[in-house]
Structure 1
Amino acid sequence: MASSEIQVQFFQHIKNLLPPYKSLVDEISDLLEISNDSAYRRIRGEKFIDLEEIKKISQHFNISLDQVFNLQTNAIVFHGKLNSLNKTGFEEWLDDVLTQLQLVQSQKNKHIYYLVKDMPPFYHFYFPELASFKFFFWMKSILYYEDLKQEKFTTESLCYFKFKETCNKIIHVYNQIPTTEIWNEEGINVTLNQIDLYYQMGLIPTADLTIKLYSQLLETVNHLEKMAESGLKFGMGKSPTFESAPYNMFVNEFVIGDNTFFAELENVRITYLNHSVMYFIGSMDPKFNDAMFKNLDNLIKKSTMISSVGEKERNRFFNKLRKKIEQKMENIN
């Protein structure tokens, strides 16, 4: 491939990542501090970009030359953030979730796939108590916030309201993206066990608050059933509209998910792998994604669709989830 062709491919890849309302020419001219005409000539391959410009562009757009130019190596390039133990670690994580979803939502053609191990975090955001508990658990037991070391989860410690605006944006954006989720009946076990563990340890000090968390999880499951029945995404307590994004729900009784998150966009695929409980790293490596999406396709073919169709299987699945929660509630002293 000629150098000019590689350069054109490089800029085309960047253009695919930009939201529709952003101009590639304006982005490049501002970044490199050059005129729009100079930016156009670089984008068309008429003027070569130097190594310093390649470095600046690649760092700014968080992309890998290896993945863009499809170099023949055995390396698979990922991008993402590591577990942050500073005081703003959780807030940074939440902002990053919103940024990634907005990137997907901004594309003309998009679809996301979620291989569920733990119920997608967005569904906890409908209730202040349930969201706050999940946040408290992550900050205390995963991020090890020093100021929470001796703290218990109470109604006075509802941190959801600090992040309410971001949470609402995340829910809104997620509900606008066509989605396929692959579930197993173990999909609520992580949250159930976290609530149970904290109650047994005395970190949730009252039975009433524990039951409230279980009740809100139960309402969330009921909402998921309504979305599965309609095959559309919509907010809690609301109904589908003509703008509702398609929602496909599959159940696989043999495979427990690992919270892998896939995005299929206009001209690129992204696989986000879960690490450190709540973090993700992503790759746009073509060969890697071709293999991952092939495995995903095989998994979907071996799963049972319970959205829009399959009423009997849908009722059976959600009744199992409800029974799990109700058994936990009955065991509260």
Structure 2
Amino acid sequence: MSNSTFDLQIQFFQRLKSAIPSHASLVDEVAETLDLSIDSAYRRIRGEKLLDLEELSKLSRKFNISLDNLFSLNSNSILFQGRLPNKTASAFMDWMEDVLAQLNLVNSFSKKHVYFLVKDMPPFHHYYHPLLAGFKFFFWMKSILDMESLKNDIFSTDKNYFAPFQEITQKILRVYNRVPTSEIWNEESLTTTLRQIEVYHEMGLIANSDITNRLYQCVLEVIDHLEKMAENGKKSFLGQSPTSESAEYRLYVNEIVLGDNTFMAEIGDTKITYLNHSVMYFAGSVDQQFNESMFRNLENLMKKSTLISGTGEKERKQFFNKLRKKVQAKIALI
């Protein structure tokens, strides 16, 4: 085996190790996937035995490792993986399951943290309230996924758009609440959700003004909850106090930079950057140089932002009062 081939195989297994939960055994995972003995698996991990193409393919598919990325380590390319939008009946449930799978992966590591550079309020915060979540799901399926089954529908409480996704939504929130998170907000971070409600109301795609008003009230309740989480510095469910399983919640306000919905996950010694595309989809990269650069950028933004969770009571109250005024201004227009 040449030195370059040996190095590539060692790097491949280093990436594979970062892709499995921290409690899992690398050698056990390799042995099970390739149907090998523990000794044979160790020989491949140590580079004593060359992986053949079939073994490389099995491992890369199971653990979602990009071989293109591996063989392009010294190039200027940055490779991403992710889902593309589709219009199948199961498209939205597939998206929700993918979100849950990514969160479960992050949560499986003892060392973990998620960073959000917020342009729009993160989707998890819409899930706290069934009516608001139902509206957001309806909007995504009708206007973004362009589902034929909703072509002639308007948003009404006569049909519960939240119900089919209630179980997975609760699973997502339970895992999300266990993952330490830092969010960088701006006053405009509510604009997209408020505009979606306003435009659907103006277009007659919300059944009546009472429902529109109730949606805005839901947003106000979410703002109250976010303020409470920021005050505690801990995550929790709507209307509940933090528990022993509640993760740290750090909220920063940056008055200059409007985010782009980038988020980064730290898992063990690895970082994954997810870039937003097609409104609700994300493409992820484990490219080490790219992620280190992105992380330095996030660190710089946090240093130039105001931390309003745990401390900064005055700044925290000012920020959330500004958000409430934005919602109240929309209510006044109904």
TM-score between the two structures when normalised by the length of structure 2 = 0.95
Which residue of structure 1 lines up, in the alignment, with residue 101 of structure 2?
A: 99
| Residue 290 of structure 1, CA deviation | 1.4
Q: Which amino acid aligns with 2:109?
A: Q
User: 1:241-261 CA distances to partner (integer Å, 9 max, x unpaired)?
Assistant: 333211110001111111101
State the identity %. Answer: 56
Aligned match of 1:13 in 12, 15, 26? 15
Give the root-mean-square deviation of aligned CA atoms: 1.5
Show CA shifts across 1:175-205 (max 9, x none). 1111100000111111101011111111101
In 2, the alpha carbon distance for the partners of 1:23 and 1:166 equals: 28
CA contact (8 A) 2:271 2:286 kept: yes
Give the aligned residue type for 1:216. Answer: C
**Match 1:329 to one of 328, 331, 334:** 331
Query: Do structure 1's residue 39 and structure 2's residue 36 form an aligned pair?
Result: no
TM-score by length of 1: 0.96
Other-structure match for 1:162: 164
Alpha-carbon distance in 2 for matches of 1:161, 1:268? 36
Match of 1:260 among 246, 259, 262: 262
Q: 1:195 aligns with which of 194, 197, 212?
A: 197
Structure 1: segments with no counterpart, 5+ residues: none
Picking from 247, 250, 256, the partner of 1:248 is 250
- Counterpart in the other structure of 1:61: 63
Aligned-residue offset at 1:52:
2.4
CA distance in 2, matches of 1:41, 1:171: 41
Superposition deviation, residue 69 in structure 1? 6.1
Amino acid at match of 1:293: F
Q: Which moved more, 1:134-143 or 1:236-245?
A: 236-245
Asked if the contact 1:94–1:166 (Cα under 8 Å) also holds between the matched residues in 2, the reply is: yes
Q: 2:314 aligns with which of 312, 315, 318?
A: 312
Amino acid at match of 1:115: L
DSSP 3-state at the match of 1:159: coil
Question: Tell me, what secondary structure is at the counterpart of 2:137?
Answer: helix
> Number of residue pairs matched?
332
Letter in 1 for 2:44: R
Q: Secondary structure at the match of 1:95?
A: helix
Matched, 1:274 2:276: yes
Q: Residue 81 of structure 1 aligns with which residue?
A: 83
2:51 match: secondary structure: coil
* Partner Cα distance (2:248, 2:234) in 1: 5
User: Aligned to 1:216, which of 218, 235, 251?
Assistant: 218
Q: State the AA in 2 paired with 1:9.
A: Q
Partner of 1:284: 286
Contact 1:115 1:259 in 2 (8 A): yes
Distance 1:322 1:104 in 2: 32
Q: CA deviation at 1:55?
A: 2.2
Corresponding letter in the other structure for 2:108: S
Whether the 8 Å CA contact 1:231–1:248 is kept in 2: the answer is: yes
User: How far apart, CA to CA, are the structure 1 residues paired with 2:151 and 2:205?
Assistant: 11
Partner of 2:92: 90
CA shift digits 1:303-329 (9 cap, x unpaired): 111111111111110001001111111
